[in-house]
Amino acid sequence: VLANAVVLRDIMGSSSLLAIPMVLAQMTAPTSAATAVSSTKEMYSYWCTAERSEKPLCKHHALIAKMTATTDPEQRKALATEVKSLYTQAKTMSAGGGPGSVNPFAKDYADMKIAYCATSPAGAKTLCSTAASRFSPSGSSGSVTSSTSQAMEWFCAKESSELASKDSICKRASLLKQMRDATTTPDAKKDLLKQLKEHPAPAYGTTQAIYADFCKIKTNGELPLC
């Protein structure tokens, strides 16, 4: 069974191991528990200040918010292009760091989550119970891909959500499911790829929050993602 998270050591490097207990000691787990999705909205507001607006994590979050807010096709297309460019930059930054380099989205997320959870935010027990970790589904086996799909299906089946971007997130999940279907023809996949450009991946922290809420359910605890 895979561990439910990538520990902070993998993000910060072994040289920072001695600092981890000190950081975690400052984190007092909140006594009440809102959903991780709800807490993550507050966490982004706390972290993504003007001086961090150009950081990959915050910039991506802002672009996704703009895409959610507009129905103008041309504006959505332009924003989607910006998102794609940001992905390319992040990939280049990760590759340029050499072996063991961490995706800048993951690094920014770790910094954001530790800083936010260190303030002992009210109601953030679900999010901050694993303050120094993150779920790591990318590049994983088919069994993990299957459980990430289950997480998204669970989220999309909920009657309500704190996220304005839920419709786009769930549309993307549906398109990806069709892409993975062995009966989908090559021509159909081309059309699905075009549609996916209109529904880029959710903000990194939002995806992590969905996984956290899904994995806290007892019956999901043994799934590869969790």
Has residue 26 got a pLDDT over 50? no
Per the listing, tokens 């996984």 go with 211
Once rounded to an integer, what is the mean pLDDT over residues 172-179? Answer: 93
pLDDT of residue 58: 96
List, in sequence order, the alpha helices (H) in 158-226: 166-180, 186-197, 204-215
Compare 181 and 163 and report the one with higher pLDDT: 181
Has residue 84 got a pLDDT over 60? yes
Confidence category of residue 63, pLDDT binned at 50, 70, 90: very high
pLDDT of residue 162: 75
Tokens of 176: 């990806």
pLDDT of residue 154: 94
Neighbouring-strand partners of residue 33? 124
Has residue 17 got a pLDDT over 70? no
Neighbouring-strand partners of residue 124? 33
Using left for φ > 0, alpha for ψ between -120 and 50, and beta otherwise, residue 133 falls in beta
Has residue 30 got a pLDDT over 50? no
pLDDT of residue 198: 84
pLDDT of residue 61: 95
Confidence category of residue 50, pLDDT binned at 50, 70, 90: very high
Confidence category of residue 217, pLDDT binned at 50, 70, 90: very high
pLDDT of residue 187: 95
C-alpha separations of 129 from 22, 36, 133, 173 in Å: 16, 10, 9, 27
Once rounded to an integer, what is the mean pLDDT over residues 109-123? Answer: 93
Once rounded to an integer, what is the mean pLDDT over residues 169-176? Answer: 93
Prediction pTM value: 0.77
Tens digit of each residue's pLDDT (9 = 90 or more) over 188-207: 999 999 889 888 889 999 99
Q: What is the mean pLDDT of the chain?
A: 81
What count of Cα atoms within 13 Å lies in the side-chain half-sphere of residue 124? 24
Confidence category of residue 153, pLDDT binned at 50, 70, 90: very high
Once rounded to an integer, what is the mean pLDDT over residues 46-61? Answer: 95
